């Protein structure tokens, strides 16, 4: 699989993948603050598309982490968790795409403080992350080769650079990006929204999905944000998109194929 890269009209890196496959799209994972049980619920598929915020550690987060051990050795803990994650997903998915989110941008910003830095945004973890993965620069838009069942282009982003900024809802994404199907992480919520528009008697059903998160709510002190849901999405070869929520370690809206 290859990803061709251009620059979109708004100056952001825009990619297009060349192979039609089925995808699992996990919510933000935030290693090492992930929830191992929730992560284990990801089904098998041909491809894994990480929309961003895979990597995290104490000094790069605006949220107060509660794990004292991680506070003392945040970078080391993240590296160890990343090694375990790479080993776990290697046999489960043939293709892996990793787009940079706002947390990866913070890692790049920190990396640039090193004298003579001239590397990739994942430089601090380059010895752990395989070269065979496809890496997308921060601010990316990635277009899949398949379309939805009603013919819309499927566009994946992290979500921090979309219109409306911050943590855009699925409803806002539908209004901001008519005529496409938008899939993002970032806002840690499981949402879907649809809007039908008409032009000369022809209807278009714009779609948007947000895929939740797979981090540990307690470790991340997310108790004050009860609207955040653990979960993930799937995208079939035929362009069918589904969201799956995880509650107390169980998938509560399935079924899932290729498990």
Both tokens of 68, joined, read 């004292």
Number of domains in the chain: 1
Quick check: is 147 in a domain? yes
Task: Tell how strand 250-251 and strand 134-136 pair up.
Answer: unpaired
**What pTM value is reported for the model?**
0.91
Distance between CA atoms of residues 185 and 145, nearest Å: 20
pLDDT value, residue 258: 41
Q: What is the 3-state secondary structure (H, E, C) of 1-53?
A: CCEEEEECCCCCEEEEECCCCCEEEECECCECCECHHHHHCCCCCCEEEECCC
Q: Tens place of pLDDT for every residue, the chain, 259 residues?
A: 999 999 988 899 999 999 999 999 999 999 988 999 999 999 999 999 999 999 987 555 555 555 554 555 567 888 999 999 999 999 999 999 999 999 898 888 777 777 777 778 888 899 999 999 999 999 999 999 999 988 999 999 999 999 876 788 999 999 999 999 999 999 999 999 999 887 777 888 899 999 999 998 776 555 455 578 999 999 999 999 999 999 888 898 765 444 3
CA torsion sign for 238, 251, 233, 169 is positive
Quick check: is 257 in a domain? no
Domain ranges, residue 166: 3-251
Quick check: is 246 in a domain? yes
> Residues with Cβ < 8 Å from 137, sequence gap 6 or more?
13, 100, 121
Quick check: is 110 in a domain? yes
CATH number at 45 reads 3.60.21
Quick check: is 209 in a domain? yes
Quick check: is 203 in a domain? yes
Quick check: is 72 in a domain? yes
Quick check: is 259 in a domain? no
Candidates 28, 1, 15; CA nearest to 138 is 15
């Amino acid at each position: 699989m290859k990803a061709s890269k251009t620059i979109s009209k708004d100056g952001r890196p825009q990619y297009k993948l060349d192979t039609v496959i089925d995808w699992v799209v996990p919510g933000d994972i935030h290693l090492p603050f992930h929830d191992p049980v929730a992560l284990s619920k990801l089904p098998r598929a041909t491809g894994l598309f990480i929309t961003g915020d895979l990597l995290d550690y104490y000094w790069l987060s605006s949220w107060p982490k509660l794990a004292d051990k991680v506070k003392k050795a945040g970078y080391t803990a993240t590296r160890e968790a990343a090694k375990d994650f790479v080993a776990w997903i290697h046999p489960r998915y043939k293709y892996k795409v990793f787009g940079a989110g706002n947390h990866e941008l913070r890692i790049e910003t920190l990396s640039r403080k090193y004298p003579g830095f001239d590397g990739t945004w994942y430089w601090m973890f380059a010895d752990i992350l395989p070269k065979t993965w496809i890496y997308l620069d921060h601010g990316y838009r990635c277009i899949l080769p398949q379309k939805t069942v009603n013919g819309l282009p499927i566009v994946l982003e992290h979500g921090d650079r979309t219109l409306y900024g911050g943590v855009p809802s699925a409803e806002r994404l539908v209004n901001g990006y008519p005529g496409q199907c938008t899939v993002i992480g970032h806002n840690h919520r499981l949402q879907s929204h649809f809007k039908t528009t008409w032009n000369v008697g022809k209807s278009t059903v714009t779609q948007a999905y947000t895929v939740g998160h797979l981090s540990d709510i307690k470790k991340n002190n997310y108790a004050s944000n009860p609207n955040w849901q653990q979960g993930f999405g799937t995208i079939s070869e035929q362009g069918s998109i589904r969201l799956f929520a995880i509650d107390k370690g169980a998938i509560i809206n399935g079924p899932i194929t290729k498990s």
